[in-house]
């Protein structure tokens, strides 16, 4: 039993070093998406050293970055894509739009706040947040993910 | 000579199996690390592919509603097993010669085609339109690069007079490596164009292009099934690079030093042929890749076959 | 072949990645981050509420006083409130460490109450003027300021009319 426990713990410690990131654009203005892409792509804020990898498919994802205020038009698609992501997963809301609606709050065309529909774990406010802030949010998400994997 | 007791050991432990898997994962990690350094980044730790595998093993595998479940889940298993067998078929000069009972170069050629076929099956069984696009692209690319490979192998076999990899290595050890033989240079060039395509890296990763078709056939895979595909791809790197070493440059001392020299050759092939190519080129379109392979590598391999036949 | 030169340069110089999650991060001097509110400087003019595009700043009347509320989770960090604040009561610091767990979502707010006092003239409930308005020089002597601080606008108007033109 203790051997099994030790094995599980060490497997968890190894697995937590490979969080793959998937981005969902829930009707964002693209500002936060640009910052997310910056975080991933430019050498200055290399997230790959945390083991993160941007993946193209929701089925490969561990950490989900949601941007945008969940517009009425895209709501059903976002919920469908989110359901495709296998557990365990951690959700990060990037920018003020998914958190509260931001500048679009109380508009007839948006369904913000996103956490009414999806289990959000970490919020990163900003319009858009700077890349370091996104990395900080991802680091907090990894800490949460450690308990789930 | 026909002792079959060492075959399970060869498939599961030393040249194939655990050893090839560990080395393949290390090669992938090195590739990612060096690519990051070339781009001015720090990059992931060397053991990152290993972490990814552990992570994938702990996740859930989701099967889409419209997928053909037995085929969908069986495809990665078939691919991994075929690559395990293939890894046991590749000799390590001076250290390991495959048991003739296991097969020869022709069997290896067939096994090398299996991962591409498995990806096609996986893409079509997943029922996703992106998988179907990946299927068609994988098919086109495979048609393009398998021809030059077969012709290269035929040229080498014609030169040495045997389809057994052990004989090919023995021939090169007495007559000098084909790397330094001008007659074989067209074949060598054709092989250099072939192996990046077979390993599916950037200029030729058209079937799995994640920015275009969302990783194509792998789109619907998650958890342990995806991990099997990652294992297959790591094993394939060892097999394809090992085949290249056996075909063109098998000179190596005996014993442990021979093993080290072999691994060093694989690392050099990975860094030059894969990492440098990957970070310095953009992705081709499928028609560009198709016409490239049907033009240069095919011409080179036909030329080499003609030269070898004449020489 | 220019890219080969770039590769060689990258290999020789080493990575240009900042050490951020494991080390300190550089912050620009004029970074607009977390909002700070100085209760002692606020006169309750509500200019910030007027100019706040996403409606992150809200004033409402409570029995204790005028309540200032500002929620970082809907603020777009445009800096208009700071620009228009006549008494520098609102200021954007360069603190951008605002990522938080979702449970603390409504804790990312500022809630301050500017208390009501009784007017020294008529005894009505009124807002005390700010004890420390920065960057504003009223055309009064310090004694006059102290005298008028706790007066309601009507009583203040009356006192000024009785006093005549400001000296």
Q: How many CB pairs under 8 A join A and B?
A: 89
Among A61-75, B19-33, B50-64, C127-141, the minimum mean pLDDT is found in: C127-141
Give ∠ CA C155-C156-C158 in degrees, rounded to 5.
65
Assess contact for A49 and A76: CB atoms under 8 A. no
E strand intervals along chain A: 20-25, 53-54, 63-67, 90-94, 122-124
Q: Which chains touch C (3 or more CB pairs under 8 A)?
A: A, B
Q: Encode B147-169 in three state secondary structure.
A: HHHHHHHHHHHHHHCCCCHHHHH
Assess contact for C40 and C132: CB atoms under 8 A. yes
Task: For B263-290, write each residue's pLDDT tens digit.
Answer: 888 888 888 888 888 888 888 888 888 8
Chain centroid to Cα C39, Å, comes to 9
Which tokens hold the place of A146?
């450690």
Which positions in chain B touch A86 (Cβ < 8 Å)?
59-62, 222-223
Asked whether the predicted pLDDT for residue C167 surpasses 60, the reply is no
Angstrom distance (rounded) from CA C48 to CA C92: 13
Q: What is the ipTM of this complex?
A: 0.83
Tell me if A49 and B57 make a contact (CB, 8 A cut-off): no
Work out the average pLDDT over C136-150. Answer: 78
Tell me if C15 and B280 make a contact (CB, 8 A cut-off): no
Among A9-13, A82-86, C34-38, the minimum mean pLDDT is found in: A9-13
Q: Which residue has the tokens 């359901």?
A: A83
Q: Encode chain B in three state secondary structure.
A: CCCCCHHHHHHHCCCCHHHHHHHHHHHHHHHHHHHHHHCCCCCCCCCHHHHHHHHHHHCCCCCCCCCCHHHHHHHHHHHHHHHHHHHHHCCECCCECCCCCCCCHHHHHHHHHHHHHHHHHHHHHCCCHHHHHHHHHHHHHHHHHHHHHHHHHHHHHHHHCCCCHHHHHHHHHHHCCHHHCHHHHHHHHHHHHHHHHHHCCHHHCHHHCCCCCCCHHHCCCCHHHHHHHHHHHHHHHHHHHHHHHHHHCCCCCCHHHHHHHHHHHHHHHHHHHHHHHHHHCCCCCHHHHHHHHHHHHHHHHHHHHHHHHHC
Asked whether the predicted pLDDT for residue B29 surpasses 70, the reply is yes
Assess contact for B67 and B132: CB atoms under 8 A. no
B37 at the A interface (CB within 8 A)? no
Assess contact for C99 and C73: CB atoms under 8 A. no
**Mean pLDDT over each residue of chain B, to the nearest integer:** 82
Q: Domain A2-148, CATH 3.40.50.12280 — does that match?
A: yes
Assess contact for A114 and A70: CB atoms under 8 A. yes
Percentage of residues in chain C having pLDDT higher than 90: 3
Residue-range domain boundaries for chain B: 6-310
Contacts of B209 (CB under 8 A, 6+ apart): B215, B216, B283
Angstrom distance (rounded) from CA A47 to CA B50: 18
Work out the average pLDDT over B200-225. Answer: 78
Chain centroid to Cα A51, Å, comes to 15
Angstrom distance (rounded) from CA C24 to CA C90: 27
C55 at the A interface (CB within 8 A)? yes
Tell me if A46 and C53 make a contact (CB, 8 A cut-off): no
Task: For C53-112, write each residue's pLDDT tens digit.
Answer: 888 899 998 888 889 999 988 898 888 998 998 888 888 888 888 888 888 888 888 988
Asked whether the predicted pLDDT for residue B197 surpasses 60, the reply is yes
Question: Phi/psi at B18 (nearest 5 deg)?
Answer: -60, -45
Strands C109-118 and C65-71: antiparallel
Q: What is the pLDDT of residue A122?
A: 92
Tell me if B226 and A51 make a contact (CB, 8 A cut-off): no
Q: Coil, strand, or helix at residue C59? A: strand
Residue A127 DSSP class: S
Work out the average pLDDT over A61-69. Answer: 90
Angstrom distance (rounded) from CA C26 to CA C24: 7
Q: Which residue has the tokens 């009414």?
A: A116
Asked whether the predicted pLDDT for residue C120 surpasses 50, the reply is yes
Residue in chain B closest to C16 (alpha carbons) equals: B40
Which positions in chain B touch C7 (Cβ < 8 Å)?
38, 276, 279-280
Give me the residues paired with residue A32 across strands.
none
Chain centroid to Cα A134, Å, comes to 9
Angstrom distance (rounded) from CA B235 to CA B84: 7
- Length of chain B, please? 311
A73 at the B interface (CB within 8 A)? no
The half-sphere exposure of B105 on its side-chain side, counting CA atoms within 13 A, is: 25
A126 at the C interface (CB within 8 A)? yes
Angstrom distance (rounded) from CA B300 to CA A142: 50
Give the 3-state secondary structure percentages of chain B, helix then strand then coil, rounded to 5: 75, 0, 25
Distance from CA of C76 to the nearest CA of A (A): 5
Which positions in chain B touch C19 (Cβ < 8 Å)?
none
Distance from CA of C16 to the nearest CA of B (A): 6
Contacts of B304 (CB under 8 A, 6+ apart): B151, B152, B155, B183, B184, B185, B186, B187, B190
Work out the average pLDDT over A21-34. Answer: 89
Give me the residues paired with residue A91 across strands.
A64
- Length of chain A, please? 149
Enumerate residues 76 to 105 of chain A having a beta carbon within 8 A of any beta carbon in chain C: 93, 96, 99-103, 105
Which tokens hold the place of B196?
């990046």
Q: Which residue has the tokens 């789930």?
A: A148
Assess contact for A67 and A94: CB atoms under 8 A. yes
C96 at the A interface (CB within 8 A)? yes
Q: Give C166's pLDDT tier (boundaries 50, 70, 90).
A: low
Asked whether the predicted pLDDT for residue B1 surpasses 50, the reply is no
Would the CA dihedral through B122, B123, B125, B130 be positive or negative? positive
DSSP string, B82-95: HHHHHHHHS-BTTT
Work out the average pLDDT over B80-109. Answer: 80
Tell me if B38 and C11 make a contact (CB, 8 A cut-off): yes
Which positions in chain C touch B40 (Cβ < 8 Å)?
10, 13, 15-17
Give the C-alpha distances (Å, rounded to integers) separating C37 from B308, C92, C104: 84, 9, 20
Residue in chain B closest to A89 (alpha carbons) equals: B59
Q: What is the pLDDT of residue C165?
A: 65
Assess contact for A41 and A135: CB atoms under 8 A. no
Q: Which fold has domain C29-163?
A: Alpha-Beta Plaits (3.30.70)
Q: What is the pLDDT of residue B120?
A: 87
Residue-range domain boundaries for chain C: 29-163
């Amino acid at each position: 039993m203790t051997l099994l426990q030790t094995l599980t713990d060490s497997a968890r410690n190894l697995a937590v070093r490979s969080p793959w990131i998937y981005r969902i654009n829930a009707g964002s203005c693209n500002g936060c998406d640009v910052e997310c892409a910056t975080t991933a792509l430019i050498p200055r804020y290399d997230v790959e050293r945390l083991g993160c990898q941007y993946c193209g498919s929701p089925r490969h994802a561990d950490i989900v970055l949601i941007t945008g205020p969940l517009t009425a038009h895209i709501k059903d698609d976002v919920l469908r894509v989110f359901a495709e992501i296998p557990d365990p997963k951690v959700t990060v809301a990037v920018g003020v739009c998914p958190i509260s609606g931001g500048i679009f709050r109380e508009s007839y065309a948006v369904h913000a706040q996103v956490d009414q529909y999806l289990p959000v774990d970490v919020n990163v406010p900003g319009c858009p947040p700077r890349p370091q802030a996104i990395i900080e949010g991802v680091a907090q998400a990894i800490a949460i993910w450690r308990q789930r994997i | 000579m026909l002792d079959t007791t060492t075959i399970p050991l060869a498939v599961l432990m030393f040249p194939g199996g655990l050893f090839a898997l560990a080395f393949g994962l290390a090669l992938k990690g090195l590739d990612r690390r060096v690519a990051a350094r070339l781009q001015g980044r720090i990059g992931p730790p060397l053991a990152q592919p290993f972490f990814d595998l552990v992570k994938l093993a702990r996740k859930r595998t989701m099967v889409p509603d419209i997928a053909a479940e037995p085929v969908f889940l069986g495809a990665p298993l078939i691919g991994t097993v075929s690559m395990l067998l293939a890894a046991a078929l590749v000799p390590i000069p001076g250290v390991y010669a495959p048991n003739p009972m296991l097969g020869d170069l022709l069997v290896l050629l067939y096994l090398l085609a299996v991962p591409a076929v498995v990806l096609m099956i996986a893409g079509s069984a997943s029922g996703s339109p992106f998988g179907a696009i990946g299927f068609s692209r994988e098919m086109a690319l495979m048609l393009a690069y398998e021809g030059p490979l077969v012709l290269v192998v035929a040229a080498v076999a014609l030169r040495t007079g045997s389809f057994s990899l052990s004989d090919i290595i023995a021939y090169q050890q007495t007559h000098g490596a084909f790397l330094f033989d001008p007659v074989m240079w067209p074949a060598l060039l054709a092989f250099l164009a072939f192996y990046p395509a077979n390993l599916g890296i950037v200029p030729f990763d058209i079937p799995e292009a994640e920015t275009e078709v969302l990783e194509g056939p792998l789109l619907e895979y998650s958890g342990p099934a995806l991990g099997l595909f990652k294992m297959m791809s790591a094993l394939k790197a060892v097999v394809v690079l090992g085949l290249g070493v056996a075909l063109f440059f098998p000179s190596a001392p005996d014993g442990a030093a021979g093993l080290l020299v072999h691994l060093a050759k694989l690392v050099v092939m990975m860094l030059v042929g894969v990492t440098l190519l990957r970070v310095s080129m953009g992705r081709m379109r499928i028609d560009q890749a198709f016409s490239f392979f049907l033009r240069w590598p095919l011409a080179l391999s036909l030329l080499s076959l003609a030269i070898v036949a004449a020489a | 072949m220019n890219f080969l030169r770039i590769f060689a340069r990258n290999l020789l110089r080493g990575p240009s990645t900042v050490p951020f999650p494991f080390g300190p991060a550089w912050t620009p001097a004029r970074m607009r981050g977390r909002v700070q509110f100085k209760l002692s400087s606020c006169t309750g003019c509500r200019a910030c509420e007027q100019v706040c595009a996403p409606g992150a700043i809200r004033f409402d009347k409570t029995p204790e006083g005028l309540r200032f509320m500002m929620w970082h989770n809907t603020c777009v960090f445009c800096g208009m409130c700071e620009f228009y604040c006549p008494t520098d009561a609102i200021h954007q610091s360069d603190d951008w460490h605002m990522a938080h767990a979702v449970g603390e979502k409504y804790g990312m707010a500022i809630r301050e109450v500017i208390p009501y006092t009784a007017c020294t003239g008529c005894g009505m409930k009124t807002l005390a003027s700010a004890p420390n308005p920065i960057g504003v020089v009223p055309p009064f002597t310090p004694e006059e300021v102290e005298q008028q601080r706790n007066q309601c606008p009507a009583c203040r108007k009356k006192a000024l009319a009785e006093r005549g033109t400001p000296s």
